Chain A
Amino acid sequence: MAATKRSGPAAVVAGVTLAAGAAHAVDLPEDRAELMYHLYDGGGTRASGPAVLVRKRMLDRVSVSGSYYVDAVSNASIDVVTTASPYKETRNEFDLGADYVVRDTLIHVSGSRSKEPDYVADTAGVDLTQDVFGGMTTVAIGFSKGNDKVGQKGTPGWIDTAHHWQYRLGLTQILTPRWLATANLEAVSDDGYLGSPYRVARVFGATVPERDPRTRESKALKLGFVGDITPEGGDKRSSVRAEYRYFWDSWNIKASTLELGYSRYLAPGWLADGFVRYYKQTHALFYSDDAQAETLYVTRNKQLSSFHDISVGGKVTYTLKSVPGKYDVHLTGAYQLLSFHYKDYTDIRTGSPYSFNAHVLQGVVSATF
């Protein structure tokens, strides 16, 4: 039976995809179609599937988009194998969005539904992006609300619900003709069932069902810089980026993320990206590898433990065909290696702190038209 499940909040974040990098300045997004095959393999879990996205301008100032994402999961992770037996299941996610431009403002509304046999997450959101100061500054604010229905295999109907509120604030500032600065602030509030009906905690060496708080408040602040570093007179453009995010929440988790990236055009029609990412977090207040006291809340969810992960990845995009003013077709391949190292989560099979490596692979065919 399934033992490890994504906790509620993670399912919501999966459903609400911010228009990452879509709106540059304030303009209606271009027509686009993407088809992707994705694979995640690590720590005993394998998730793969296709995903498709279509975006099209309609009438005068509206662009609508729809996407379908399939996650076929085969789970034999450490939580699953040590407390239950491996399982397979599929998650489907549908997203719909619409963009509307009024003068210098872009209005984006979105809705999504993520469906698993025992978890349904619905999210709706609205984002406003505004160009100010002659287009030098772009301000974005957004709000999303998520409603989840939590189920448990073997129990008919739903066992509980969860609600999520997300508030976003974003700022992009042109510094020079080559450099941009970005700042993002996001506050998330959760209410309801935030744990997993299959996950167990350890108290005095014995396994007990985990007990999570029914509320959570978190804030994250990210600062970033992107710059064009092409040498004067150079014919192949290149750029670097650096981002730092600090996260803190009411569960006492503090996390830092640092990401550095480099992009460069290679031969005509070839674009390469590379990045390194470092993530570190401290454990939630009620997290314990093996609790030595009875507390109101207790969890052994490794997602809430003290750990760090390092990631290195690269992506290559090839322009298959380009007819300016008509359409472009691109092929993209990406690979990423993640390495997780837990400080206070023990691999009970070996007795030492747990660690694992994961591989992420992506193949995408995309067209703008």
Chain B
Amino acid sequence: MRPTSFLRLAAALALAALAPLAAHAAVDAGVRAPDFTLRGADGRNVRLEELRGQVVLVNFWATWCGPCREEMPRLNALYDKYRKSGVVLLGVNIDDDPATALATARKLGVSFPVLLDTDKRVSRLYDLATMPSTVVIDRDGKVRLLHRGYRDGTESEYEQTIRGLLKE
């Protein structure tokens, strides 16, 4: 190969390698929350964009995830406390079997809407890095908090963020 064609090839390969890096966009605080539509337990669709104007907390959970199950009752308590203030809590479940998900939610005494993301479409959209993951979205549809995982006491962090957003 001629030296110049080799150089041209090397330059082209280098630029091609750089391209994927630019395309990566993470869902994190400050970014607009990607819109989605999911079916709920009652069969009706819920669309995130339609909840603009309210503070929304989206919790991604699964029945097979220990910390997720622990977190459920705490989220429920949070929901009962702030639902009148205009906070919407959505529990997005990612189980392969929706029946198990709904049965478990019922047994855990969950009163907030459970949405089914069986094909993992929304999980991929939000590029979930951990289970559970909780996203708190403000009235303008922007992500204000992305919390990965759950430990005892994490719910107070959610509460603090919600209170701050309700004042806005």
A27's closest neighbor in chain B, by CB? B66
| Nearest-CB residue, chain B, relative to A326 | B107
B residues 122-168 touching A (CB-CB < 8 Å): 129-130, 151-153
Q: Give the contacting residue for A324; candidates B67, B107, B151, B152; CB below 8 A.
A: B107
Q: State the Cβ distance, B155 to closest chain A Cβ, in Å.
A: 13
Residues in B whose Cβ lies below 8 Å from that of A324: 69, 104, 107-108
CA distance in complex: A101, B66 (Å): 14
Q: Is the CB of B69 within 8 A of A325?
A: yes
Bits for B43-86, please: 1 = Cβ < 8 Å to A, else 0: 00000000000000000000000110100110000000000000
B108 touches A325 (CB 8 A): yes
The answer, among A60, A101, A323, A325, for a CB contact under 8 Å with B153, is A60
Please indicate the chain A residues that have their CB under 8 angstroms from the CB of B67 in the complex. Answer: 27
Q: How far is the CA of A6 from the CA of B123 in the complex (A)?
A: 55
B151→A30 contact, CB < 8 A: no
Interface residues of B toward A: which range?
10 to 19
Determine the chain B residues whose CB is within 8 A of the CB of A101 once the complex forms. 151
In the complex, A324 Cα to B110 Cα: how many Å?
12
Closest to A101 in B: B151
Is A325 within 8 A of B72, CB to CB?
Answer: yes
The smallest C-beta distance from A138 to any residue of chain B, in angstroms, reads 14
Contact pick for A60, options B108, B109, B151, CB 8 Å: B151
Is the CB of A205 closer than 8 A to any CB of chain B?
no
* Bound CA–CA A27/B73 (angstroms): 19
- Min CB distance A213 to B, Å, is 47
Q: Give the complex CA separation of A101 and B104 in angstroms.
A: 26
* Distance A325 CA – B68 CA, assembled complex (angstroms): 11
A135 interface hit (Cβ, 8 Å) = yes
Closest to B69 in A: A325
| Distance in Å: Cβ of A256 to nearest Cβ of chain B | 35
Interfacial chain A residues near B72, Cβ < 8 Å:
325
**Total residue contacts A-B, CB cutoff 8 A:** 23
Q: A4 CB to closest chain B CB, in angstroms?
A: 45
Return the contact of B107 from the options A27, A61, A135, A323 (Cβ within 8 A): A323
Let me know if A134 is at the binding interface, CB within 8 A. yes
Whether the Cβ atoms of B152 and A135 lie closer than 8 Å is no
Which of A101, A134, A323, A324 has the largest number of chain B CB atoms within 10 A?
A324
Interface contact A61-B73, CB-CB below 8 Å: no
A135's contact among B69, B109, B130, B151, by CB below 8 Å, is which? B130
Decide if A30 touches B107 in the complex (CB within 8 Å). no
Within 8 A of B (CB), among A59-85: 60-61
Question: Which residue of B is nearest A24, CB measured?
Answer: B66
Residue on A with the closest CB to B107?
A324
Question: Can you name the residue of chain B whose Cβ is closest to the Cβ of A104?
Answer: B149
Residues of A129-164 whose CB lies within 8 A of B: 134-135
Pick from A30, A134, A325: contact of B73, CB below 8 A: A325
Closest to B67 in A: A27
B66 touches A30 (CB 8 A): yes
Q: A157 CA to B126 CA in the complex, in Å?
A: 67
Q: How far is the CA of A61 from the CA of B154 in the complex (A)?
A: 12
Q: Which residues of the other chain, A, contact B129 by a CB distance below 8 angstroms?
A: 134
Q: Are B152's CB and A60's CB within 8 A? A: yes
Task: Report the minimal beta-carbon distance from A230 to chain B, rounded to whole angstroms.
Answer: 11
Residue of A27, A30, A61, A323 with most chain B CB atoms under a 10 A cut-off: A27
| Interface of chain B residues 3 through 30 with chain A (CB within 8 A) | none
A61 touches B108 (CB 8 A): no
Distance, CA A60 to CA B106, complexed state (A): 26
CB distance from B79 to the nearest CB of A (A): 16
Interface centre among A60, A61, A135, A325 (most CB of B within 10 A): A325
Question: What's the nearest-Cβ distance from chain B to residue A19, in Å?
Answer: 16
Contact partners of A61 in chain B: CB under 8 A: 151-152
In whole angstroms, how far apart are the Cα atoms of A27 and B68 in the complex?
12
A135 CA to B130 CA in the complex, in Å?
Answer: 8
Bound-state Cα–Cα, A27 to B152, Å: 12
Q: Could you list 18 examples of A-B contacts with CB < 8 Å?
A: A27-B67, A60-B151, A60-B152, A60-B153, A61-B151, A61-B152, A101-B151, A134-B129, A135-B130, A323-B107, A324-B107, A324-B108, A325-B69, A325-B73, A325-B104, A325-B107, A325-B108, A325-B109
Beyond A27-B67, A134-B129, A325-B109, list 9 extra A-B contacts (CB 8 Å). A30-B66, A60-B152, A60-B153, A61-B152, A135-B130, A324-B69, A324-B104, A325-B69, A325-B72
Chain B positions within 8 Å of A, measured between CB atoms, are 66-67, 69, 72-73, 104, 107-109, 129-130, 151-153
Write the residues of chain A forming the contact surface with B, with a CB cutoff of 8 angstroms.
Answer: 27, 30, 60-61, 101, 134-135, 323-325
